[in-house]
Each structure stands twice: as C-alpha cells, then as structure tokens.
Structure 1
Amino acid sequence: MPKQTIRDIDLAGKRVFVRVDFNVPLEEKDGQMVITDDTRIKETLPTLKFLIEKGAKVILASHLGRPKGQRDPKQSLAPVAPALSELIGKPVAFAEDSVGEETKAKALALKDGDVLLLENTRFHAGEEKNDAELAKGFAELAEIFVNDAFGSAHRAHSSTAGIADHLPAVSGLLMEKELTWLHDELENPERPFVVILGGAKVSDKIGVINRLLEKADTIIIGGGMAYTFRKLVQGITIGKSLYKPEWEPIAQAALDKAEQRGVKILIPVDALITDSFDFDTKKLGTTKYTGVNENIPDGWEGVDIGPESVKLFSEAVAGAKTVIWNGPMGVFEIKEAAKGTFDIAEVVAANSSAKTIIGGGDSVKAVKKAKLADKMTFISTGGGASLELLEGKDLPGVTCLKDK
C-alpha cells in the first residue's frame, strides 16, 4: 500500500497538522488527571522527532475518550503536553481548543521545530460526523496534513480524513509501519503462514476469516467463536457456551471454503469449563477441563482452551514462518481463564525464526501482560483498524493520503 510519507515531502518551515493517537488511559490522583500508560505517545516519537529535525512547525491533534461533542475536563488532553515534553526533551505548548482564532494565532506564532498540542478534537460534535466546516477549520492551521493515527484510520472523521480535502496529505512513520506489516507483508507472506483468531463472535471475525482463507496455510480458531465450529465439526454439545444458531451457516461456509482451498482449520479439542461466570466481578464458579472432544454438559460453559488444544495449536505455530494473531483464546481478563491465551503467547514468542505480528486489541494486552512484547516482530496499535485492514476494507484515514 505505497502511500507518500513524511520522507517524501519538504517539511522545512512548514506548519504540519499531525493526527496522532493520544487516546491514553487517565486516572484521577490528588485531584489531577494522570496518564497511566504512555505507550501510544511513545509510538509516535519517531514521527515527531523526524518532523522536528526537519524544521517543521508541529501541530498535534488527537481525540481522547468519548466526550460526545461536549467539553469534559476529565477527557482533556492537557496532561499529555507535559508528558510529551519530557519524552522529546523540549517544551510542548497547549491550545485550549482544536480550532478557532486563538488556536490559529498560536499555530501561526510557531517557530521551526516548535510543538503545539491541540485540545481533544471530539469536544466538537462535528468531529465524528466528518463535518466539512470543522475539517476546514483544522486545515486553516497548517500547510500539510500527516496522519499517524492508525488506531483511528478506520473512521472518517474531520481530523482523520476530512482535513485531507484541503491539504496535501501523507503518512507518518507509525502509519507506514502498520500498513507495511498488516498489509504489504501479508500480500506475499513467507510460508507456512499461520493465522490465530480468537474473540467472542463468529460474526465479528468472519470477514477476516474469509479474507485470510485466501492467503493462509493454517487458521487456528479459539475464543468464544470456536464453540460454533466445535458443534459443527465435532458434533459435541456445548452447554451454555457462546453460540447463536445464525452463526452456524457462517462457520460452515468458512469450513467449506477452507476445504476447497486446501487451508487447514484447527479448532480446540478440549476446554476449561465453568458452571457459573460473572464477567463484571471477574469470578468463575467451579471449573474443570473436559476430555478431548468431550461434550460440555448443560449449565456449563467454555471459558478457555484446554491443554490438548494448546499442544495442537503449538505444533502449527512452531513450524510457521509468518504468524498473525488477533483475539484471545478465552476470557483472559479472568485469571483462572487466562492460561490458554498466555500459553499461545509464549508459543508465538518462542518461534524466533518467524515473523510474528500481533494484530491489535486484546491480543496486544495479553502479550504485554505476559511480558512477551519484546519477543514479537510487530505489535499493532489499532484494534478495529487492524481488523478492517486484515479484512481488506478501505480505511478512510489511509485512502485520503497521497499515493507514491
């Protein structure tokens, strides 16, 4: 997906509007909002340092949370300015709004290499509606648009796509990296190419399954969506495990397509089951492992893959040259149901001869929780965006950028 990047244009002395993803978790401490995880800020540093070195006047824009077009001090980007300043070793000015005359005056006063952070773009109701006037307001601040917010690239908002109607638009270095790993590398992957998909609903992942059935050698299916496949393939009863009758034809069509294309689909052969499960309190009732292809009794539900499934999946992963993983193997937020997900994280990390790509969302949380992030080749910063890209969908925040 060859898009022009900040390397392809002259930046010296130019005001550059950079859409970043500073949607960081905040917590109130002693009456002040404090950042609890600055990963997303750190991910944009290569782009920001490049722009500063080239003498650009950097104007940073991001959303934070879901303020629904209202000003909310608890969702202000103000705490990000000092945190970013510390990371880049220079002052970061803050504008109380993301558009308007005062903000424009601050943008016009910037000197080469200066950095200005704008207030939360979603304090304006027009942002999520891709309002043309708001996009024009953003564009009036700058001469170039850089999109480095991959996590928001699947949304057509004023600051991610609309602004590109008014300014030359190119990709930042993080966006370039995401497109390289989640698109270009998978166009012609090194084989065997193994895909691991987890998560709750078959309906959410079927687009990705269908798309990757055209490229993968093996697809491993775990998580809540695996029970529909198990019911179909193994003919077992699945108790009250996650399942809807309308998922069956979707799963069957995927199985048929896999057979036609000679793609191996691996599904769990055993499970950790429980007789009661409360996600809110993170509590499970009595738990036990089923035997291989054993029925799940009425009143019980599967919450994780079992040890035999881990063995089965491990063999496929160990022999792979390219692995992409999206979605947990069970309810990994609950300690007792996290073993399968963490075991798979370890297996992926152990294959040092493969390119290992973690495709956003909960898989990233799991890999970080398992302290294995540094063992992976690439970890995506986008949940929904990575899924849509893997599905082959056009992302508004990417299609608006200039082609090479």
Structure 2
Amino acid sequence: MAKLSPDFFTMDDFDLEEKTVYLRLDINSPINPITGEIIGISRFLSHTETISTLRHSKVVLVGHQSRPGKDDFTTLEHHSRQLQRIIGRKITFVDELYSSSARGAISSMAEGEIIMLENSRFYSEETDIPGDDIERMEQSNFVKRLEPLFDYFVIDAFPAIHRSQTSLVGFHRLKPNIAGKLVEKEVIMLDRFRFGKENPKFAILAGSKIDDSIKVSRSFLDLDTVTGIITGGVVGNIFLWASGKDIGKKNRDFIMKNNKNHESLLEICRNILRDHPGKIIMPMDAVLSPSGKRVSMDDKIPDDETIADIGLETIAKYSEIIESAGAIFMNGPMGIYEIPEYSVGTREVITALASSDALKIAGGGHTLSALEHLGLMKRMDHASTGGGALISYLSGEPMPVLEALRESKRIFKGKVNGK
C-alpha cells in the first residue's frame, strides 16, 4: 500500500510567525456576467484554515481568475473584498503583481497584515512560459522581483495542482515551498480513498462530463482501486449505449453533440466493460422527460424522450450497494436534479450516502451544490475543491505542483530551521 502521509513540507514543519509568506490560493470563481458579482464562496471558505494559521505572519495573497479571452477574466479587487468579509480581517488590494509599488507595499508590511496582489494571469510570464521550463520561470521578472521579499512560499491552490505555471511552481527551487492546509487535507483524504484499507470500495460517477468520468473509471478499475463503479446521468447513458442498450436518439444526439470524440469514448467504454465484467454498475430503469414515464433499460427508449433520472429499482439497488460499502467517492448527479420531478434519484442516492458509515468523499460542483441544498455537506468526510485537478489526481496522472513541493522538500530538508 502507498504511504498516506505527505512527502512534502507542511505548515506544521515551520515557525511562520512574523515571517513574510507568499500564499498562492485558488479563488477562481463563477462571475455574474451582468453585475460582475462573484457567485459562490466555497473556494474562499476552503482557504480560511490556512489563512488563520498565518494570523501572525505577513501574508501576501496571489491568485488568478479565469484566463485571457474569457468573459470572466477580471481583476481580483472584488475577490479581496469577498475574502475580507469572510475572514473578518482587513485585506489591502494592490492592483499590480511585481511592480515597484507592489514590492514596496510588501516590504513595508507589519505582522498580521494581509495584501492581495493582482490576477497573476494578467501577466504573460504566468501563462506563456512552458510548464517544463523551470529555468525560464526562475529568470522571469515575476520570480526575480518577488522571491527576495519572502521567507516562505505556501501553495494552497489544490484546484490548480495539475497546472505548471510560474505562480505555482516557479519558486520551489529557490526557497522552501510548503503545502497549505487545504492541499495537505486534499492529498491525505484522496489518498486514503485510493490506497486505504476500507472495503468494499465504490465510486459513484455520474453527471454530464463523461470524458473525465470514463478516464477515472478506466484508471480505478485497471489499478484495482475500487470494487465497482456506480453510474448515472449521461455517464450511465454512454455505458448503457456501449453495452448495446438502445438509449434513444435524443440521448445519443446529446452525447454526440457535446463530445466530438464520442466514437473513441464509446470504444473505451466497450473496452472497460469487456476487461472488467460486472464492475460497471448501470441503471436498470429510468424516468423520461417530458412524459415522466418510468421505463426499464431493457426497453427501447423513445427517440423523442430524454433520460432524466434513474428509476426506483435502480435507486433501491444503488442504496443497497452504498449501505454495504467501506468507502465511497461520489462525483456527479443521477439526472436533471435541478428540476424537482427529476431530482429523486440524486436526492435518494445522496441521502443513502450521507447515512452510510463508510468513508465518504464528494467532488464536483453539481455534487457539492446538491449536498448543500440537502443540508448534508457536513455528513461527508471530505468535500474536494478540485475540478479537473481532482479527476487528474484520482486518475494517477502526474501533478506538477505536488512534484514541485516534493522537490522543494528534497532540496531544503535539513537546510532550514523548522519548528
């Protein structure tokens, strides 16, 4: 079994009081295109423990919002105000990243002060340097002008750990880079699901993002991470289609329209079903829209109907499996849960999950939204902040930020004064 303790520096390894600390957050959030208002505060909340731990430090916050060319690519000024309201401490916003005024503000900080710098992706040195060119990052103005001002670099941007960008990895060979509380918790909890002894172990993969779910399904089963995978939503539909079920023209068209690579995804699903017989657990019945009819998946689905939810037989089967589990990971709703008449499957599966004694980990925006709506978030052992990073990590892909943190520990272990 893989080691569950982190192999990088954590905040418990150093005395950070009175030190000047660079804190890389991920507060990238949905933005109302009309009002510019930030929608949702979950990512802000995820960093409060790290910020609280640094209450006696001089803290400089670095983050990003969206990327060039997107409508929500904007300043972090509103983000600084939002975070200030959440933590109840003053945050001074500086609309520069490494200008003389920004450096002057950092140099004149007192213990307990917090500064937030401008959106790092406003600068080409963040977005244009190849991820494998650490030397070029180290020679950038971004790194050369900021690195001398800091004692430590705390990286807490878990949703971005699959990105190799200057603000995330560019300093790791120059000063100790430390995992923040969020990154530490995410890695420990996700590794506990991947490598822990709890059995049987199931993943619930549903929703409409089939590419990610298929990738995780293959990885989980090839590596024998899980006993089985429960499917729903469009994820369930593509596996049903791959298994030879007639899911109806409207459902096939949805998959084809939203996935240009649908033919290759279908082939991957067929291979998974062939290589891991009985491991992909698919809906046995469904609720259709607009008719509201309940049908068996052994029947041909009418071409003008959408599979909108799992049926009662499937709910009963899935609930039984969940009750037997020792560990469960859930990502994605069972159907069009936003519409009340098609929310039963998602509600019942989440309720069964919340009632389980298993290790319970949830991820994905729709899953967390449903948990919050049902008031069951606190029943989870862990709610992951990651999107693409979560899928990539669970799939066993290399994580550039974690690799940088590990290398930083190898470089600076024994060379710095810890606690």
Q: TM-score when scaled to structure 2?
A: 0.84
**1:97 and 1:333, CA in 2 relative to 1: closer, same or farther beyond 3 A?**
farther
CA RMSD of aligned residues (A): 2.6
- Equivalenced residue count is 384
Partner residue of 1:239 out of 226, 231, 249: 249
Query: How much does 1:247 deviate?
Result: 2.9
Q: Supply the AA of the counterpart residue of 1:167.
A: K
Between 1:76-85 and 1:373-382, the stretch displaced more is 76-85
Query: How much does 1:23 deviate?
Result: 1.8
In structure 2, the residue matched to 1:100 is 99
Query: How much does 1:65 deviate?
Result: 2.8
Contact 1:224 1:303 in 2 (8 A): no
In structure 2, the residue matched to 1:47 is 50
Contact 1:21 1:152 in 2 (8 A): yes
In structure 2, the residue matched to 1:252 is 270
Unaligned runs of 5+ in 2: 1-5, 131-136, 256-261, 411-419
Structure 1: distance between partners of 2:85 and 2:241: 54
Between structures 1 and 2, the one with greater helix share:
2
In structure 2, the residue matched to 1:270 is 285
Structure 2: distance between partners of 1:246 and 1:35: 37
In structure 2, the residue matched to 1:381 is 385
Q: Secondary structure at the match of 1:159?
A: helix
**1:128 and 1:303, CA in 2 relative to 1: closer, same or farther beyond 3 A?**
farther
Q: Secondary structure at the match of 2:229?
A: strand
In structure 2, the residue matched to 1:328 is 333
Structure 1: distance between partners of 2:200 and 2:28: 36
Structure 2: distance between partners of 1:192 and 1:367: 23
Structure 1: distance between partners of 2:351 and 2:244: 27
Note the 1:64-83 alignment, pairs <5 A: 64-68=65-69, 75-83=74-82
In structure 1, the residue matched to 2:237 is 227
Structure 1: distance between partners of 2:47 and 2:32: 22
Structure 1: distance between partners of 2:218 and 2:83: 41
Partner residue of 1:295 out of 300, 303, 307: 300
Deviations 1:280-335 (A, max 9, x none): xxxxx444221352211223332322222111111100111111011222233444
Query: How much does 1:388 deviate?
Result: 0.5
Q: Secondary structure at the match of 1:59?
A: strand
Query: How much does 1:207 deviate?
Result: 2.3
Q: TM-score when scaled to structure 1?
A: 0.87
Between 1:217-226 and 1:82-91, the stretch displaced more is 82-91
Between 1:134-143 and 1:289-298, the stretch displaced more is 134-143
Deviations 1:192-225 (A, max 9, x none): 1111011335433222112211111121111212
Note the 1:133-172 alignment, pairs <5 A: 133=140, 134-172=142-180
Q: Give yes or no for the alignment of 1:369 onto 2:373.
A: yes
Q: Supply the AA of the counterpart residue of 1:250.
A: I
In structure 1, the residue matched to 2:60 is 59
Structure 2: distance between partners of 1:255 and 1:129: 41
Structure 1: distance between partners of 2:165 and 2:404: 11
**1:95 and 1:190, CA in 2 relative to 1: closer, same or farther beyond 3 A?**
same
Q: Between the two proteins, what is the percent identity of the paired residues?
A: 30
Q: Supply the AA of the counterpart residue of 1:155.
A: R
**1:103 and 1:326, CA in 2 relative to 1: closer, same or farther beyond 3 A?**
same
In structure 2, the residue matched to 1:277 is none
In structure 1, the residue matched to 2:196 is 188
In structure 2, the residue matched to 1:305 is 310
In structure 2, the residue matched to 1:281 is none
Query: How much does 1:379 deviate?
Result: 0.3
Q: Supply the AA of the counterpart residue of 2:44.
A: I
Structure 1: distance between partners of 2:242 and 2:79: 50
Q: Supply the AA of the counterpart residue of 1:196.
A: I
In structure 2, the residue matched to 1:37 is 40
**1:189 and 1:357, CA in 2 relative to 1: closer, same or farther beyond 3 A?**
farther
In structure 1, the residue matched to 2:27 is 22
Deviations 1:353-379 (A, max 9, x none): 111100233222222222211111110
Unaligned runs of 5+ in 1: 275-284
Contact 1:138 1:159 in 2 (8 A): no
Deviations 1:124-178 (A, max 9, x none): 2332234721344443442321110111111112212223243321100011000
Structure 2: distance between partners of 1:340 and 1:232: 22
Q: Supply the AA of the counterpart residue of 1:252.
A: R
Q: Supply the AA of the counterpart residue of 1:111.
A: A
Contact 1:231 1:238 in 2 (8 A): no
In structure 1, the residue matched to 2:3 is none
Contact 1:69 1:125 in 2 (8 A): no
Contact 1:67 1:122 in 2 (8 A): yes
**1:37 and 1:236, CA in 2 relative to 1: closer, same or farther beyond 3 A?**
closer
Contact 1:68 1:125 in 2 (8 A): no
